[in-house]
Structure 1
Amino acid sequence: MILTVGTGAVDAATFIRLGGVFSSVVTGNLVLLGYAISGLIVDVALHTIVAVAGYILGVAVGTRVTGPPKEDMPIWPVRVTMALMLEFAFLILFSTGWVLTGGRPDGIVAFALLALAAVAMGLQSAAMRGLGGHAALSTTYLTGTLTGLVAAMLMPRQSGRLDSRGIAILAALTSGAAIGSLLVVNAPAVYPVVPLVMLGSVIAAAAIRRARESRDSS
Structure 2
Amino acid sequence: MTTAPSARLHLALVMLSFAAGAADAFAFLALSGTFTANMTGNLVLAAMFTRPGWLRTALCALVAVASFAVVLYLGFRHSRGQVLAGDHRRLVRRLLVPSSAAQGVVVVVWLATGAAPDVAVQCAVIALSAGALALQTVAAKRLSDIDGITTTYVTGSLTTTMQDLAERHDAGQLFRLLSIAAVPAGAVVATAVLHLALGAGPLVAFVVATAAALVALPRIRRTT
Give the TM interval when normalised to the shorter protein: 0.7 to 0.9
- The alpha-carbon deviation at position 160 of structure 1 amounts to 2.0
Unaligned residue ranges in structure 2 (runs of 5+): 1-13
- The alpha-carbon deviation at position 88 of structure 1 amounts to 1.6
CA contact (8 A) 2:149 2:179 kept: no
Q: What is the DSSP-based 3-state SS (H/G/I as helix, E as strand, rest coil) of the residue aligned with 1:24?
A: coil
Aligned to 1:188: 198
Unaligned residue ranges in structure 1 (runs of 5+): none
Identity of aligned residues (%): 28
How has the CA–CA distance of structure 1 residues 104 and 40 changed in structure 2, closer, same or farther, with 3 Å as cutoff? closer
Per mean C-alpha deviation after superposition, the further-off stretch among 10-19 and 81-90 is: 81-90
Deviations along 1:163-200, whole A, 9 cap, x unmatched?
11111011111110000011112212333332222121
Residues 1-218 of structure 1 correspond to what in structure 2 (within 5 A)? 1-36=14-49, 41-67=54-80, 70=83, 73=86, 76-131=88-143, 134=146, 137-153=149-165, 155=166, 158-161=167-170, 163-210=173-220, 213-214=221-222, 217=223
Aligned residues: 210
- The alpha-carbon deviation at position 49 of structure 1 amounts to 0.8
How has the CA–CA distance of structure 1 residues 148 and 208 changed in structure 2, closer, same or farther, with 3 Å as cutoff? closer
Per mean C-alpha deviation after superposition, the further-off stretch among 190-199 and 3-12 is: 190-199
Q: What is the DSSP-based 3-state SS (H/G/I as helix, E as strand, rest coil) of the residue aligned with 2:206?
A: helix
Letter in 1 for 2:200: V
Letter in 1 for 2:169: G
Per mean C-alpha deviation after superposition, the further-off stretch among 181-190 and 50-59 is: 181-190
Query: Taking CA–CA contacts closer than 8 Å with sequence separation of 6 or more, which of the two structures ends up with the larger relative contact order?
Result: 2
